[in-house]
Amino acid sequence: MLGAALVIWGFQMADAPANQVAQSITGSSSDAAMYRYIGGALALAAGAYLFFKK
C-alpha cells in the first residue's frame, strides 16, 4: 500500500504546474518526485517479495 501511495504521489507532483515549469527549464523532473518514484518502486518490490515468499 505504501509503495502504491508513493508512486501516485510522485505522479501528482510531476504533473503539478510548478514542476512542469521547472521541467521545461531544466529538462528533468524535480528531485522530490523522483524520490517518491524510487521509494514507491522499492516499497512495491519489497511488498511483492514478502507476499510471494510464502
Q: In which domain, by residue range, is 44 found?
A: 2-17+26-52
The arithmetic mean of pLDDT across residues 25-46, rounded, is 85
Q: Would you state the cell numbers that stand for residue 52, as one nine-digit string?
A: 510471494
* Residue of 24, 27, 30 whose CA lies nearest to 12: 30
Average pLDDT, the chain: 83
Q: What is the pTM of this model?
A: 0.68
Number of domains in the chain: 1
Cβ–Cβ < 8 Å for 8, 33: no
Question: What CA–CA distances, in Å, run from 16 to 2, 4, 20, 22, 51?
Answer: 21, 19, 6, 10, 33
**Which pLDDT score, from 0 to 100, does residue 28 have?**
75
